[in-house]
Amino acid sequence: MSLYSTLRPALFLLPPEKAHRAAICALQRGLVPPARSTHANLKTTVAGLSFENPVGLAPGFDKNAECFEGALNAGCGFVEIGTVTPRAQAGNPTPRVFRLVEHEAIINRLGFNNEGMDAAAARLAKRSGRGIIGGNIGKNKESADAVADYTAAMRALYPHVDYITANISSPNTPGLRALQAADELKALIEALQKLRTALVAEGAPHRPTFVKIAPDCDDAMLEAIAQTALATGLDGLIVGNTTLSREAVVNSPHTQEAGGLSGKPLFALSTEILRKIYRLTGGKIPLIGVGGIASAADAYEKIRAGASLVQLYSALIYQGFGLVSSINDGLSELLARDGFANVSDAVGSAHRIG
């Protein structure tokens, strides 16, 4: 039995956000055990960035760039902080996070609660430089000009992170998912790329820019997203965010709570969307697979479906950060079993079999 499994009953007596605060404090103080080992066959290069392993911490955990060093120490190949908005905002009223323990799932309607771009940038400026850190950015709830918010947040974080992700898929900010429509998406990507060109001209490094999409997109929207990503030369897509669907949790007492569902019930849906996006883009754009990963087998399925990297969050609530090392160990073994010399060789392999 792991230490976390012993502590979890006590943590689950706390409201979810207080337990989350305790987890952040534990990472800050080095109380989470360090990664047990590294694996040569997990080292990979994606969008020009070199990753120690493909297993990352999804945004939403370290919203304000407080504990990314601790997460890297725990074995994460990369950490994506945020979502960060230009101005600090409190988010939606509490309670706004609900554990669906019987499903190992979470429903949240946090609403981009964060301390704002300046606070995040100040903390990121003190980073040690090791590991890959991404900056996930979004718009403030009351902003009329979404593109202006995204470019402002990108400008603030750009000097301190290794890549930028535009989150246009949270269900908890009104109107945000409308940015996934082809014209709006094209305008946003081009604005971010124009800013990047200007920053590079000023002497900054060229940093990849990703977009995070929802798992609730229909086939027409997925095709439009894929075409737009290819046409604009987008560096990558993150697939995907939480879902509004409740089909997999109909018997939970929290089923009717508003917000996005994450955790194990999201795995099948998010993986199917990932497969579709990989086919639609012809494997020409790096994909990061997110949603319901709770084991090495889950991570491997995402990779074989087309993900070059994967991200975790909800499963850590139920299994603790020891899960990161467990997934990396298991992934290394699965790759060796199937004759892949490196994790990059397995990306999209399910599409090449049968």
Q: What amino acid positions are annotated as catalytic residues?
A: 170
Cβ-based neighbours of 40, under 8 Å, separated by 6 or more: none
Could you list the beta-strand ranges (E) of the chain: 44-46, 49-51, 55-57, 78-84, 97-100, 105-108, 132-137, 163-167, 209-213, 236-239, 260-263, 287-290, 309-312
Cβ-based neighbours of 283, under 8 Å, separated by 6 or more: 306, 347, 348, 351
For residues 167 and 241, give the distance between their C-alpha atoms in angstroms, rounded to a whole number. Answer: 9
For residues 231 and 114, give the distance between their C-alpha atoms in angstroms, rounded to a whole number. Answer: 33
- Residue 241 burial (C-beta neighbours within 10 Å; 0-12, 13-18, 19+): buried
- Residue 18 burial (C-beta neighbours within 10 Å; 0-12, 13-18, 19+): exposed
- For the chain, the straight-line distance linking the first and the last C-alpha, in angstroms and rounded, comes to 40
For residues 224 and 2, give the distance between their C-alpha atoms in angstroms, rounded to a whole number. Answer: 45
CA angle 310, 311, 312 (to 5 degrees): 135
Q: Which token pair is 317?
A: 């609530």
